[in-house]
Structure 1
Amino acid sequence: MAGARLVTPPQPTSSATLRVPGSWSTPTPDQLFETFHEWAEAQGLTLYSAQEDAILELADSQHVIMATPTGSGKSLVALAAHFFGLARGERTMYTAPIKALVSEKFFSLVGVFGAENVGMVTGDSAVNAGAPIICCTAEILANEALRDGAEARLGPVVMDEFHFYADPHRGWAWQVPLIELPQAQFLLMSATLGETTRFEKRIAERTGRDVVVVSSAERPVPLSFEYSTTALVDKLEELAGMQLAPVYVVHFSQREAAEQAAGLMSLNLLSKPERERLGERLKTFRFAKGYGQTLSRLLKSGVGVHHAGMLPKYRRLVEQLAQEGLLKVISGTDTLGVGINVPIRTVLLTGLSKYDGSRVRQLNAREFHQIAGRAGRAGFDTEGTVVVQAPEHVIENEAAARKLAAKHSGDDAKLTQALKTKPKKKPPEGFVSWSEKTFEKLIVAEPEPMVSRMRVTYAMVLHLLNRPEDPVMAMRRLITSSDETPVRQAQLQRRALEILRELLAAGVLEKFDEPDEDGRTVDLTIDLQDDFALNQPLAPFAVAALDLLDPESETYALEVISVIESILETPYQVTGAQVKKLKSERLAELKAEGVDFTERMRILDDMTHPQPLAEILEQQFEVYRAAVPWVADHELQPKSVVRDMIERAFTFIDAVNFYGLARSEGVLLRYLTDAYRTLSQTVPTAKVNEDLEDLLEWLGEVIRQTDSSLLEEWERLAAGDDPEKLAAWEKHRDDDAASVPVTGFTSNERAFAVVVRNAMFRRAELFSQEKEEALAGLQRERSPNSDWADPDRWADALDGFFDDYEDVYVDAKARSAEYFLLDKNPADKPGFWHAVQVLDDNKSNHDWGIHAWIDLAASDEAEAAVLTVHHVGELRNA
């Protein structure tokens, strides 16, 4: 492999803004093409022949299927489609499989067409939803297609990463628009479409206009391929020495990506000037405790990590450093196939088999080409390189064979005997092997034909009821027009009939004796909220379930959180870690109690993650489902993540460390963000009390202090078109940007007071359990020199309390504000707060408490409440 030269990408020579000439009324195809072509040239861009062909066809109002390799400029063709729609006065849409790509495209299009012309619609909320150019996920477009069909106001529709048509869970959303939007002009794009004949034929038949396929097997940046039997570390050093970095090392699990990265820090990847530049670049970045400290060390050695379990701010930092040429190796997952915005010269796959959720199997051709295609980026590289590592046991066996060959050089008989007798390392159990032949077949293999994934759900039926036509016939047409086999179509029709009957039996639908003026034979008997099938389809159930709660209860705020958590998608990495931790603790207890092995295993097998209110919520869900049958499309999932953090007085890092979630910080953060967003959107104002407001303030601050990017994106979307909300958001963003160093942990007093209150009550709980070691441990963690870091000091206090009282309660009443005293301005102690957790004794005397000082400066530095207990006993002034 020859070293590939890094070239400077073309730079725009004028403003990137693309405007429709005011003199146009009905532009001709030639006018459209020439205007866009001139704009592209002004940006320093020269169209490839495939780009030019596709843009000409789009200007002529034809459908285009663009099946060209990664790096061939499909994004520029999509830009042309949006411009043509804008010029014709049409509404255009861009869809992609994941919100991150939709968001990225939204900001990109705003830069080209202006904020007034571009909007984004997600399941959470919308910004500028009336704009002529809309970015959304495929499901949003599919729902509009079901609701409005041929009446939808649409022109060009860009469907990016169209190979998701074959996705088992989401493929229906890529097929529905092709069936239900005959008025649209489609641009379907992917590097791995495979055979497209059936799409060409069916789209042309349904829409009455031609479908043009623009394909090219020739990449603007050619690829070279290598099968490696060299140990991974040695191979990476070799690639870096040949100037073939940055290298993206592909793994098929987050754990493998993180572990492999840690093993690469010893590589000599950076020159002294590069190390200095990297050090300067990282000086101002805030690495939080937890995985941030590990990532900081990795980055300083020129090694990055990139996977969905990381915090968004860390992923963006890795992308930025790679773009700046400061990282030589990035260890990540195969999500690279969907696209990350980094210039990658070499893709190195650590294997050709993966676990797909049900079994371990070899990669198929589409998966391989999606990943391999990321090597070598137009405008950066003159060549891309794809390396596949042989299985680890093969590499080790070959290395052993080479050693024997060197040892017995010149003595063939001894070498043969040594090779026969030397035991070979075997593959691990369950291993699905691959070889150089597997690799060679994948290189030349065409992507597999895309399989139809149509399905029928309650939500789809209800969307169709919005149309001025018979929904029964509309559903039948949708099913029979799909790409499913006749047998599968019959199954889908039976399912649709079952749903219809259930809706009729529940009284949600009524059947007419005669069709109405629109031809309807059935119609809704109730009003549905507009977004019932979007982000949180069980939100109406949650609102109804809130009526079961007692607003006067001391645990009301926590119970509201539990109701909302039950409708959120389960973060299985987190709940799995909870189960593991709980089982470990319970196993120790059972062993101490002398429970025999069989009984221990039975008890542990029955354990699950915490599920507050599960019984009452599941009962209510069955009642609710009888009246609202479509909720059967979704599963109630009681759990305790936010509530667990509150009850354990955890910061984000506390939760990460306690449950061992360093590799899944991003998963936890996304869940907390979803919980905050859903609590803010779903709980009616009348159901929010002061305690819940405090907890919401705390949760929002936890998210902001950890990584504010997800929350800021949602707040920007939630502001929508409201000028006051937009102004408030912009001020908040600007204030944060101007705040250097980052706002202190204690600056949000309301949120910090919740942290202190939770921490104090945690000590009361441990006191009630007589756990002096745990109490001393909490003190040692924050103030190791305190007298109360000694378990004996706590033991004396426990003896003193239980000499007078039999019990200390830690129920809902004991958690209430009545038993928590906080002085934010203690006399003669600036920079400190003083807190007292009153102990709720069985005689209701309430004359004992845990007294503590809270050091604000130390809390800012530690990003946690630094409490120093100074007295446990009878209540007294600080």
Structure 2
Amino acid sequence: MKVISGTDTLGVGINIPIQSEVLTKLCKFDGERTRILSVRDFRQICGRAGRKGYDNRGTVVVQAPEHVVENLKLEAKAAGDKKKQRKLVRKKPPTKGYVHFDKATFQQLLKGKPEPLQSRFQVSHAMLLNVLSRPAGGCQAVKQLIKSCHDRNALQHRHGKTAIQMFRSLVEAEVVSLVDDPDRPGIKRAQVNVDLQREFSLNYSLSLYVVETIKLLKPELDSYPLDLLSLVEAILENPTIILRKQLDRIKGEAVGQMKAEGIEYDERMERLAELDYPKPNADFIYDSFNEFSAKHPWVGQENIRPKGAARELYEQCHDFRSFVVGYKLERAEGMVLRYLTDVYKALTQTVPEWARTPAVDDLIDYFGGVVCGVDASLLEEWERLRDPAQVLTQVVEEQKPETPRGITANQHTFTVLVRNAVFRLVQQLSRRQYGTVAAAVQAPSDQPSWTAERLEEMLVPYYEDHEAIRTDPRARGTEHCQIKHGHIEPGGTPAAGGSSSERRWRIVQVLVDPDEHNDWMLDLSVDLDRADEADGPVLVLHRIGS
């Protein structure tokens, strides 16, 4: 391999023999802002130049900023021609994702001293739960852990106070209880609540806020799963790019509406400045968090971050691809997948068993299906890590010959993918997007292909009796989507012989109307073999009717 092109990760994260390096920039986006490389980062990256055992030195070249190089080229072309020099239009530096650097910046990085390392030790609920889960000596182990960290004595003392405050909050939330120590009569020891689900964890700094605030929600409401999702999203890091795209869309729609209303430019700009990305239940979340932080001093500078990125994806029943394309996030697919994976993990680990309703389980399955639909290996690996016993037996299992695995191998996960795809059709039909539906489904082999006109014609009788097709959380319930697993023919009878070419599931999706007569449905099937080939559900629509 002669050339490797990549981000600074190549220089920081891997160890490969590189003779020369070319840096196109001396600035980088660190997840929050664009900044000049630190001396430590610069030396770490440049230290990869030079192949051990082959060279006694390596070469590092830093390019000038792109606009500077382009301007030098323009000046060279116009050299000696005063007319061209007068008309010369120099390229301007980028307005986003750029911090100015020049030769002086390069020299400062060369001569500067690496910044001192700083301890990142922090006491967290997840740490306490992991240590307190030991059979004995959990509290003493926490003390020893704090004492052995690399912080100064004053900071260690502060960590100890934080640990005590967090421990008390865990006891108040009934996540941890104090029980009699059988080996030491009269002494209490900490024990993690055995009624919590096996995968329960508090891996996020404000996870306990979710556990306590869920009690304020009303499970009987149709909006309960969405309200719970908003709580979970509020404790996660902001996916800046997604939120920026959401705000851009809101502003675009607002501009169009204000222009139609004849609002003047200056007033439009003032109104646009007041807009923000969606923050569902923001008032409730802010108020409940203020009460939570007042009760728990360890919260400190931590803050809540209401947002609705995952909630929009769920409400609109997007799959990963449609969400990425809709917001033009193709260059940030990895970030989107990472955020949705965090949402799925947080829902699975943070929401206690007592707070889960069938609708919440459907919500969790939905995000599991979205993540699995993009990269099943991520979800499978995490599921294995959730079960230590499975990890221990993995070595034995790997010695067995591998069997072919397609997207249908995990029946539960594939069922979720099918249900999501079917409800997307319902949403599109409710918006009368017949062309989109026609492109998303196939017709049986003995029928003509579906067209927008044919679909619209089939739904004319429906709209004569009903005002609309509902797509609210209740209409999305699994009771309205019946899936018959196994070798099922479109008519609902088992396929003769049960050959692999006849592996079909039958799906009946009820179209919920405002009066809940529910007398219309979609009759579909999915071919499992074709789904394995396409790496996703291939839906065949047989009919729409009563």
The TM-score with structure 1 as length reference comes to: 0.48
The equivalent of 2:467 in structure 1 is: 806
Match of 2:439 among 763, 780, 789: 780
Is residue 201–residue 349 contact of structure 2 (8 Å, CA) maintained in 1?
no
The equivalent of 2:90 in structure 1 is: 425
Alignment pair present for 1:659 and 2:327: yes
Alignment pair present for 1:447 and 2:447: no
Match of 2:423 among 747, 761, 766: 761
Is residue 779–residue 867 contact of structure 1 (8 Å, CA) maintained in 2?
no
The equivalent of 2:67 in structure 1 is: 393
CA-CA distance at 1:343 after TM superposition: 3.2
Partner secondary structure for residue 815 of structure 1: coil
Structure 2 matches for 1:294-373, cutoff 5 A?
325=1, 328-332=3-7, 334-354=8-28, 362-373=36-47
Is residue 373–residue 536 contact of structure 2 (8 Å, CA) maintained in 1?
no
Cα distance in 1, alignment partners of residues 419 and 257 from structure 2? 29
Deviation per residue, 1:319-339 (Å, 9 max, x gap): xxxxxx3x623132x344532
The equivalent of 2:289 in structure 1 is: 621
Which structure has the larger Rg? 1
Indicate how the Cα distance of structure 1 residues 600 and 347 shifts in structure 2: closer, same or farther if over 3 A, else same: same
Cα distance in 1, alignment partners of residues 377 and 53 from structure 2? 29
Indicate how the Cα distance of structure 1 residues 798 and 424 shifts in structure 2: closer, same or farther if over 3 A, else same: same
Partner secondary structure for residue 375 of structure 1: coil
Is residue 701–residue 748 contact of structure 1 (8 Å, CA) maintained in 2?
no
Is residue 779–residue 868 contact of structure 1 (8 Å, CA) maintained in 2?
no
Match of 1:679 among 328, 344, 347: 347
Is residue 647–residue 762 contact of structure 1 (8 Å, CA) maintained in 2?
no
CA-CA distance at 1:663 after TM superposition: 2.1
Cα distance in 1, alignment partners of residues 276 and 395 from structure 2? 43
Alignment pair present for 1:567 and 2:235: yes
Is residue 369–residue 413 contact of structure 2 (8 Å, CA) maintained in 1?
yes
CA-CA distance at 1:815 after TM superposition: 1.8
Partner secondary structure for residue 506 of structure 2: strand
Deviation per residue, 1:546-585 (Å, 9 max, x gap): 3334445555445444433332222222333333344445
The one-letter code of the counterpart of 2:462 is F
The one-letter code of the counterpart of 1:738 is E
Partner secondary structure for residue 522 of structure 2: strand
Partner secondary structure for residue 6 of structure 2: strand
CA-CA distance at 1:429 after TM superposition: 6.3
Question: CA RMSD, aligned part only?
Answer: 4.9
Deviation per residue, 1:667-698 (Å, 9 max, x gap): 22222332333333233333334444454445
Is residue 852–residue 867 contact of structure 1 (8 Å, CA) maintained in 2?
yes
Indicate how the Cα distance of structure 1 residues 440 and 546 shifts in structure 2: closer, same or farther if over 3 A, else same: closer
Deviation per residue, 1:850-872 (Å, 9 max, x gap): 33333333333333332243433
Indicate how the Cα distance of structure 1 residues 733 and 703 shifts in structure 2: closer, same or farther if over 3 A, else same: farther
The equivalent of 1:580 in structure 2 is: 248
Match of 2:402 among 726, 738, 751: 738
Is residue 763–residue 775 contact of structure 1 (8 Å, CA) maintained in 2?
no
Deviates more, 1:681-690 or 1:726-735: 726-735
Structure 2 matches for 1:183-332, cutoff 5 A?
325=1, 328-332=3-7
Cα distance in 2, alignment partners of residues 691 and 358 from structure 1? 35
Indicate how the Cα distance of structure 1 residues 867 and 583 shifts in structure 2: closer, same or farther if over 3 A, else same: farther
The equivalent of 2:181 in structure 1 is: none
Indicate how the Cα distance of structure 1 residues 422 and 379 shifts in structure 2: closer, same or farther if over 3 A, else same: farther
Match of 2:411 among 743, 749, 755: 749
CA-CA distance at 1:348 after TM superposition: 0.8
Cα distance in 2, alignment partners of residues 734 and 605 from structure 1? 61
Partner secondary structure for residue 650 of structure 1: coil
Is residue 649–residue 755 contact of structure 1 (8 Å, CA) maintained in 2?
no
Deviates more, 1:536-545 or 1:559-568: 559-568
Indicate how the Cα distance of structure 1 residues 792 and 364 shifts in structure 2: closer, same or farther if over 3 A, else same: same
Deviation per residue, 1:348-400 (Å, 9 max, x gap): 11133456678766545433322211222424655422111123233234434
Cα distance in 2, alignment partners of residues 733 and 553 from structure 1? 46
CA-CA distance at 1:846 after TM superposition: 1.9
Is residue 318–residue 424 contact of structure 2 (8 Å, CA) maintained in 1?
no
Cα distance in 2, alignment partners of residues 781 and 675 from structure 1? 27
Is residue 788–residue 869 contact of structure 1 (8 Å, CA) maintained in 2?
no
Structure 2 matches for 1:472-487, cutoff 5 A?
none
Is residue 202–residue 208 contact of structure 2 (8 Å, CA) maintained in 1?
no
Indicate how the Cα distance of structure 1 residues 754 and 704 shifts in structure 2: closer, same or farther if over 3 A, else same: closer
The equivalent of 1:821 in structure 2 is: 482
Alignment pair present for 1:726 and 2:398: no
Cα distance in 1, alignment partners of residues 61 and 376 from structure 2? 37
Is residue 521–residue 544 contact of structure 2 (8 Å, CA) maintained in 1?
yes
Deviation per residue, 1:66-117 (Å, 9 max, x gap): xxxxxxxxxxxxxxxxxxxxxxxxxxxxxxxxxxxxxxxxxxxxxxxxxxxx
Cα distance in 1, alignment partners of residues 526 and 475 from structure 2? 21
Is residue 75–residue 85 contact of structure 2 (8 Å, CA) maintained in 1?
no
Cα distance in 2, alignment partners of residues 658 and 768 from structure 1? 19
Is residue 809–residue 840 contact of structure 1 (8 Å, CA) maintained in 2?
yes
Listed as ranges, the gaps of 5+ residues in structure 1 are: 1-324, 406-414, 483-491, 510-524
Alignment pair present for 1:793 and 2:458: no
Cα distance in 2, alignment partners of residues 653 and 728 from structure 1? 35
Q: Which structure has more RCO (C-alpha within 8 Å, separation ≥ 6)? A: 1
Partner secondary structure for residue 814 of structure 1: coil
CA-CA distance at 1:448 after TM superposition: 4.9
Cα distance in 2, alignment partners of residues 564 and 355 from structure 1? 26
The equivalent of 2:534 in structure 1 is: 862
The equivalent of 1:375 in structure 2 is: 49
The TM-score with structure 2 as length reference comes to: 0.72
The equivalent of 2:299 in structure 1 is: 631
The equivalent of 1:156 in structure 2 is: none
Cα distance in 2, alignment partners of residues 844 and 857 from structure 1? 36
The one-letter code of the counterpart of 2:59 is T
Cα distance in 2, alignment partners of residues 747 and 660 from structure 1? 31
CA-CA distance at 1:731 after TM superposition: 6.5
The equivalent of 2:506 in structure 1 is: 834
The one-letter code of the counterpart of 1:760 is V
The one-letter code of the counterpart of 2:106 is F
Indicate how the Cα distance of structure 1 residues 843 and 598 shifts in structure 2: closer, same or farther if over 3 A, else same: farther
The one-letter code of the counterpart of 1:751 is T
The one-letter code of the counterpart of 2:239 is P
Cα distance in 2, alignment partners of residues 708 and 762 from structure 1? 21
Partner secondary structure for residue 541 of structure 2: strand
Is residue 504–residue 525 contact of structure 2 (8 Å, CA) maintained in 1?
yes
The one-letter code of the counterpart of 1:346 is S
Deviation per residue, 1:397-439 (Å, 9 max, x gap): 443455567xxxxxxxxx3757865726244266755444543
CA-CA distance at 1:828 after TM superposition: 7.0
Cα distance in 2, alignment partners of residues 453 and 545 from structure 1? 32
